[in-house]
Structure 1
Amino acid sequence: MDRATILVVDDESGVREALCAAFESQNWQALEASDRASMWEALETQQVDLVTLDLMLGNEDGLSLAQALRERWNIPILMISGKAAVEDRIRGLEFGADDYIVKPFHIKEVVLRVKKTLDLYNREISEQSNILLDHAMFEVQRGVLTHLDGTPVELTGLEQRLLALFVQHPGRILTRDEISQALHGRDWSPDDRTIDGHVARLRRKIESPTTGEKLIRSVRGVGYVFTGQVRIARDLAEPADRKRDDDRQ
C-alpha cells in the first residue's frame, strides 16, 4: 500500500491531536473530524484507508454511525470507547468495527492495531494458495477442504466459491451485495435470504466443533467478515524445507 490515510473521528481535540501525531510519525496521512458532518465530508472528498471512531461522539450514537459508514464504504473501522464491558465490545464489533480499543489507551497499542488492520485489508491471497485454517487445509484453486487428519469435507460448488471469497479477503467485511455478485452475478435483494443460508451452512462445515471458534462473523445490516487466522501453507512449509536441506549438507 502507498502512504495510508487515517481519519480520526473524535469530539475531544486532545485525543485527535495525539492520534494524528502518532499516525504521522508512521508516515501516514492523518485527517481529523469532530462530528458526523465533518466525517462525511472527509470521506466524500478524500481517499481514506481507515477510520478511528469514538463511540461517544457528542450527542451522536457511534454504533449507528459505524453502521451507516459500513453501508456506504468498505473501510476498516477501529472503534475507540470508554466503555470496557464485554457486551459493549461485542456490540461494537457487531455494528461494523474491525477492532475495539478502550480508553484510556496507549498510543503504541493503537498504532500496532492500525497496522494489523491495514495489513489484513491489503493482504492478497492468490487462487494458487493452499490455506491453513483453524483445523483444516483449503486448496483455493481446487476448492478442496480437508481436515488436518486427512478427512475430506464435502463442499458444494457454491460453498467452495464462498469460502475462497472469504479467505482471499480475511478481516475485510464483505457486503451481501459483494457476496451475491461473486456467487450469482446479481445484486442482493433485502428479501433474499439465500446468502445468509449459504453462510450458515458453510459455517457448520468449517468451524471446529472442539474449539468453538467462529471463523465467519456477521456484521449487522451489512454482511460478513472472515475473522479466522489465514496462513498460507507453502509459507509455513519453507522453514521445514530449509531445515531438511541444511541437514543434508
Structure 2
Amino acid sequence: MCAHVLVAEDDEKQAALIRGYLEHDGHTVTVVYDGQSAMDQALREPPDLLVLDWMLPGVDGLEVCRRVRDEGGLPVLMLTARSTEDDLLRGLDLGADDYMTKPYSPRELMARVRTLLRRTQPSVPDDPRVLRAGPLLVDPDRHEVACRDRPVPCTPGEFRILEAMAAAPGRVFSRRELLECTQGYDRASTERAIDVHIVNLRRKIETDPRAPEILLTVFGVGYKLTGGRRGT
C-alpha cells in the first residue's frame, strides 16, 4: 500500500530518518519543519497520512492536528517526547489517530503507519494486471493511468512509456529502450523526443515538475519510476 505521507518534524536528522523508512516502503513523502508549513501543506494538498511532531516551532502540533481534522478526516500519527496520560488524552481528544512517545523504534513507527493506512484508505481489489509505482497506477486493460487517485490523460506514446516503467519500478530505462516502447504509436519519435515525453509526463503526474518525486532522471543512463525518492 503506497501513499502520500506528510512529515512535520523540526529535527532535520529525525525527519530524514522517517523519510528514508517511508520511501523504502514505497511512499511519496513531503517533509516540513514547522507548524504553519504543516497546516498550509496539509490543506493545500491533503496527504493520505500526517506524521506530526507535537513540539513544532511557531504553531505547535496540537493546533495543527485540530485545524487539519476540522477540515476533514486526515489521519494523524502524533510523535512526542511527552509521555503522561494527560498528554496522550489531549492529543487523542484533538483527533490524533495514534500516538508514539520518543524515543521510538523506526520499525515500530512503520508498523503503525501501515496499520493506519490499512484502516483509513479504501480497499482496492487486488488486480494483478494493474501496475503500481508509488502513487502511480497503470491499467493496461483499460488503458488508464491514475496518480494519487486522479486520472492522468496520456497520449499513446506516453502510456506505453509508463506501462513499461511501471512494470519494473526502480529499474532504469535508457532512452533507446523507451523509444522502442513507442514504436508503432509515435512514428516521429526519436531519443530526443523521449525527453519531451518525460517533461510532459512530469507535468501530469508530479506535484512540482521541477522537483520530481516519481519519474526521475538517472544522469548519463536514462529514467526510472520510483515510489517517492526526490530526484531531478
- TM-score normalized with structure 1 length: 0.47
In structure 1, what is the Cα distance between the partners aligned to 2:66 and 2:45? 20
Q: After TM superposition, give the deviation of residue 47 of structure 1 in Å.
A: 4.5
Query: Following superposition of structure 1 onto structure 2, how do residues 98-117 of structure 1 map, counting pairs within 5 Å?
Result: 98-117=97-116
Cα deviations across residues 52-89 of structure 1 (Å, max 9, x unaligned)? 11111024332122111101131100000000111111
Match of 1:82 in 2: 81
Offset at residue 95 of structure 1 (A): 0.8
Shift of 1:36: 2.5
Partner of 2:36: 37
CA shift, 1:46, in A, is: 3.0
Root mean square deviation, CA, Å: 1.6
Structure 2 Cα separation of the partners of residues 17 and 98 of structure 1:
23
Read off the aligned partner of 1:121 and give its amino acid letter. T
- CA separation in 1, counterparts of 2:5 and 2:68? 15
1:60 match: secondary structure: coil
Partners of 1:45 and 1:95 lie apart in 2 by: 21
Structure 2, unaligned stretches of length 5 or more? 124-232
2:219 — aligned with what?
Answer: none
Aligned sequence identity (%): 29
Distance 1:37 1:107 in 2: 25
Structure 1 segments unaligned to the other structure (5+ residues) = 125-249
Amino acid at match of 2:121: N
Q: 1:59 to 1:46 in 2, by over 3 A?
A: closer
Which residue of 1 is the match for residue 72 of structure 2?
73
Aligned to 1:60: 59
* SS of residue in 2 equivalent to 1:71: helix
Q: Secondary structure at the match of 2:89?
A: helix
Contact 2:10 2:34 in 1 (8 A): yes
Give the Cα–Cα distance (whole angstroms) in 1 for the partners of residues 40 and 66 of structure 2.
Answer: 17
Q: Are the equivalent residues in 1 in contact too, given 2:39–2:64 (CA < 8 A)?
A: no
Q: Given that residues 36 and 58 in structure 2 are in contact (C-alpha distance below 8 angstroms), is that contact kept between their aligned partners in structure 1?
A: no
Name the CA distance, whole Å, in 2 between partners of 1:39 and 1:90: 22
Aligned pairs (5 A) from 1:1-249: 3-122=2-121
Q: Which amino acid in structure 2 is aligned with residue 103 of structure 1?
A: K
CA distance in 1, matches of 2:104, 2:64: 22
- The whole-number CA distance in structure 2 between the counterparts of 1:15 and 1:105 is 11
How far apart are the structure 2 equivalents of 1:91 and 1:48? 23
For normalisation by structure 2, the TM-score amounts to 0.50
Tell me the number of residue pairs that the alignment of Structure 1 and Structure 2 aligns.
123
- Shift in Å at residue 123 of structure 1? 5.2
* Displacement after TM superposition at 1:4 (Å): 0.2
In the alignment, is the contact (CA less than 8 A) between 2:46 and 2:74 conserved in 1? no
Q: Distance in 1 between matches of 2:89 and 2:36?
A: 26
CA distance in 1, matches of 2:113, 2:23: 13
